[in-house]
Amino acid sequence: MKSIKFSKTNIIDKDIKLVGKIIKSGWLTHGKFTTDFENQFKKYTKSKYAVSVSSCTAGLHLSCLASGFKKGDEIIVPAQTHTATAHAVEYTGARAIFADVDILTGNISLESIKKNITKKTKGVIIVHMAGYPCEVDKILNFCKKKKIVLLEDCAHAVGTKFKKKHVGNFGISGSFSFYPTKQITTGEGGMVLTNDYDFYKKIKSLKAFGIDKDIKDRKKQGDYDVKSLGFNYRMTDFQAALGLNQIVKYTINLRQRHIIAKRYIKNFMNNKKIKHMPYSKNCSFFIFQIFCKNRDKILKELKNKKIGVSVHYSNALPKMTYYKKKYNLNIGKFKNADSYGCTNISLPVYPKLKMTEVDKICKTIIGLI
């Protein structure tokens, strides 16, 4: 039986040869390709500034630090997301406050944010789950009114737009992921977008030990100062080279993802036992999510049939031991997030996926319901 993989990269032979060329050159970091990738990414997203980093988690951490989050502050995050979203807050000494999510999109709403606002609230991190955009305008206006920081976790969202504007451009920053399963991959890696110059300078310095000058800006060797306690969160040049070609041709990638998503919807249209994420022309469809009551049984059978699927994510964060014990959380407050975690199945949406494979995935799942 031929297997169907959950993900496949868009890395081609041309990219591999380029990486080999960079490695042979000996100039592996701080180089031309990192700058080129940043420039192409900000061009695609129409953002003023882009800073490459070692991961989306690093980008979120730096964004929290640059926002001034500290011990005693509360930052609202979705109860259903990757743990990195909340961890980035905790790294600063601030506390992650969980807000329930929409049952089908997995996104937090303005209403769920309002329920968790206190005098200690200093920020909100929204996540565009599976590439589906949050209702950013309402949340942004509320944050401005309350004078709290809005950050965007765009780990799933290369190509996602809201009202014709690319996500990551609404909050003070947007952090993107280039993990191997994502729409664009550099192995590991990420990018931080911002339209604020001062914020950009903070991120750029903090990602490189707190150093105040790039190598190219130094008049002589060692001509720099360290002005803050920074980190080594830099991307290598050969990672950037992998991402560069993918972002240049990403429009084709995104178009195919929409074709695949529509095919899933067509196949599941008349099945009342399977719910699925809504379609949106603004979604980038990192994955296509369906929701089934007997999820774990279906996952087991799909594995046996060599059909690659995944789960995003199996447990709401308030159920995770670290957060549950530290804050004595009651999962009953997060009913939608809990249900989402217990029922979601992530189906593949990579451009190399064939329509016959999409149909096979759907037929198999329908037969297991």
Domain identity same for 134 and 275: no
- For residue 8, tell me if it sits in a domain: no
Q: What is the pLDDT of residue 20?
A: 87
Residue 30, Ramachandran bin (φ over 0: left; ψ between -120 and 50: alpha; else beta): left
- For the stretch 363-366, contacts whose Cβ atoms lie closer than 8 Å and that sit 24 or more positions apart, written own/partner, are 363/267, 364/301, 364/302, 364/305, 364/307, 365/274, 365/290, 365/292, 365/298, 365/302, 366/267, 366/268, 366/271, 366/274
The CATH number covering residue 30 comes to 3.40.640.10
The CATH number covering residue 287 comes to 3.90.1150.10
Rounded-to-integer distance, Cα 347 and Cα 150, Å:
30
Q: How does the average pLDDT of the chain come out, rounded?
A: 95
Rounded-to-integer distance, Cα 314 and Cα 317, Å:
9
- For residue 3, tell me if it sits in a domain: no
Tens of pLDDT, residues 197-244: 999 999 999 999 998 777 777 667 776 888 889 999 999 999 999 999
Write the CB contacts of 279 (distance below 8 Å, at least 6 apart in sequence). Answer: 261, 262, 265
Average pLDDT of the segment spanning 278-306: 97
Domain identity same for 353 and 230: no
Residue 135 structure tokens: 């209702």
Is 63:88 a contact under the CB 8 Å cutoff? yes
Other CB atoms closer than 10 Å to residue 332's CB: what's the count?
8
Q: What single string gives the DSSP state of each residue in 314-325? A: SS-GGGSHHHHH
Q: Within its chain, how far is the Cα of 37 from the centroid? A: 18
Domain identity same for 50 and 144: yes
- For residue 327, tell me if it sits in a domain: yes
Q: What single string gives the DSSP state of each residue in 129-141? A: GGGPPP-HHHHHH
Burial per residue of 175-187, b for 16 or more beta-carbon CB atoms within 10 angstroms, e otherwise = bbbbbebbbbbbb
Domain identity same for 235 and 264: no
- For residue 7, tell me if it sits in a domain: no
- For residue 270, tell me if it sits in a domain: yes
CA dihedral in degrees (319, 283, 57, 309; nearest 10)? 60
| Confidence band of 27 (pLDDT split at 50, 70, 90) | confident
Q: What is the pLDDT of residue 215?
A: 72
Rounded-to-integer distance, Cα 147 and Cα 102, Å:
25
DSSP one-letter code for 331: G
Domain count, the chain: 2
Domain identity same for 172 and 307: no
Domain identity same for 232 and 199: yes
Residue 319 structure tokens: 């159920």
Percent of the chain with pLDDT over 70: 99
Identify the domain boundary among 248, 279, 311: 248
Cis peptide preceding 313, ω within 30 of 0: yes
Identify the domain boundary among 248, 265, 288: 248
Domain identity same for 190 and 120: yes
Residue 250 structure tokens: 């990403």
Single-letter residue type at 1: M
Residue 31 has pLDDT above 90, yes or no: no
Residue 1 has pLDDT above 70, yes or no: no
Domain identity same for 208 and 347: no
Residue 122 structure tokens: 């200093």
Residue 82, Ramachandran bin (φ over 0: left; ψ between -120 and 50: alpha; else beta): beta
- For residue 20, tell me if it sits in a domain: yes
Tens of pLDDT, residues 310-346: 999 999 999 999 999 999 998 899 999 999 999 999 9
Domain identity same for 60 and 116: yes
Domain identity same for 63 and 88: yes
Domain identity same for 185 and 257: no
Domain identity same for 27 and 168: yes
Q: What is the pTM of this model?
A: 0.96
Q: What is the pLDDT of residue 219?
A: 67
Closest residue by Cα to residue 76 from 119, 116, 109, 120: 116
Rounded-to-integer distance, Cα 27 and Cα 24, Å:
8
Tens of pLDDT, residues 256-272: 999 999 999 999 999 99
Q: Which domain holds residue 338?
A: 250-368
Tens of pLDDT, residues 129-169: 999 999 999 999 999 999 999 999 999 999 999 999 999 99
- For residue 151, tell me if it sits in a domain: yes
- For residue 5, tell me if it sits in a domain: no
Identify the domain boundary among 193, 216, 248: 248
Is 162:170 a contact under the CB 8 Å cutoff? yes
